[in-house]
Chain A
């Protein structure tokens, strides 16, 4: 078999291609799991600051969710923007145009990764806000139990406009 060994594999396009497969496989679990937690296990309408804070700032399990989200944002951004680059490479041919395109793509990607990583890494729970939020909504629920807010029983059109304008209150 020795003569069949050609050389160690390498090169940018090879690495990028390989990365797309590996990151894709990992993202199947991370992203689909994330979707399941946010859209199936929870009602997306109940996701808010208090929910996010409860996940990320939990003293025992917070680091798991932060690690999950950090891995996901890094892999998803590289995977997505490299995919975009591969598509645009098929349509942008000039040497200068390609350099400009690649530079834009990697810059935007880096900016978004920094943005997301900062949010996940530096997040600190705003307790005063959460307390105030809980107090306000405990009152809101107490004042308007399900049914009271929706006397007609089913039609969305019926409750349209009858709800209190919260911003104005």
Chain B
């Protein structure tokens, strides 16, 4: 059977178009809290992978471990760089914020699932999450940022590895 009309095709949005359209959706508090929960979860996982690997140094190479964690204090290759120290301090603050939000909002999600009334207070509970988050975050931020006001007390010297007493 011949046809003069071409078969119409439906439009299927690609991944990028769906992502943009999805972010444009006006879902309000529920959607934003879900998105932030997801992004913070991925961020924590990325950090965790790095953290497990760097902590593994501790068991076979103490000096490598000390050189690695010295970077957190702004010392790279034995030299102190203050922007490095600032960058790691701010990243540390970001990590604490990420974990705290994921933890507090995670409790909120658990309440939806295991408390029958939980879903009724979706928006109110998010405000409570923000309050608890800020209440924990402000003192944490002060504790983390305050040492930046002064220079490091001293730069730790890291010895060569001693090739004994390791498994």
CB neighbours (8 Å) of B164 from chain A are 126, 128
- Would you call A45 and B72 a contact (CB within 8 A)? yes
Is A5 an interface residue, CB under 8 A from the partner? no
CB neighbours (8 Å) of A141 from chain B are 154
- The interface size bin for chain B is 35 or more
Q: How far is the CA of A140 from the CA of B152 in the complex (A)?
A: 13
Q: How far is the CA of A144 from the CA of B15 in the complex (A)?
A: 58
- Would you call A126 and B162 a contact (CB within 8 A)? yes
- Would you call A118 and B59 a contact (CB within 8 A)? yes
CB neighbours (8 Å) of A125 from chain B are 165
Footprint of A on B, CB under 8 Å? 15, 38, 41-42, 44-45, 48-49, 52-53, 55-56, 58-59, 62-63, 65-66, 69-70, 72-73, 75, 77-82, 85-86, 92, 95-96, 99-100, 103, 106-107, 109-110, 113-114, 140, 143-144, 147, 150-159, 161-162, 164-167
**Of A39, A76, A115, A154, which contacts B96 at CB under 8 A?**
A39
A residues 116-169 with Cβ under 8 Å of B? 116, 118-119, 122-130, 132-133, 136-137, 140-141, 144, 146, 149-150, 154, 156-157, 159-160, 163-169
For A29, the closest partner residue in chain B by CB is: B103
CB neighbours (8 Å) of B48 from chain A are 76-77, 80
**Of A73, A136, A146, which contacts B159 at CB under 8 A?**
A136
- Would you call A83 and B79 a contact (CB within 8 A)? no
Of all A-B residue pairs in the complex, the 8 with the closest CB atoms, nearest first, are A167-B78, A156-B82, A45-B73, A166-B78, A80-B45, A128-B162, A132-B159, A49-B62
A residues 1-49 with Cβ under 8 Å of B? 21, 24-25, 27-28, 31-32, 35, 39-40, 43-45, 47-49
CB neighbours (8 Å) of B109 from chain A are 21, 24
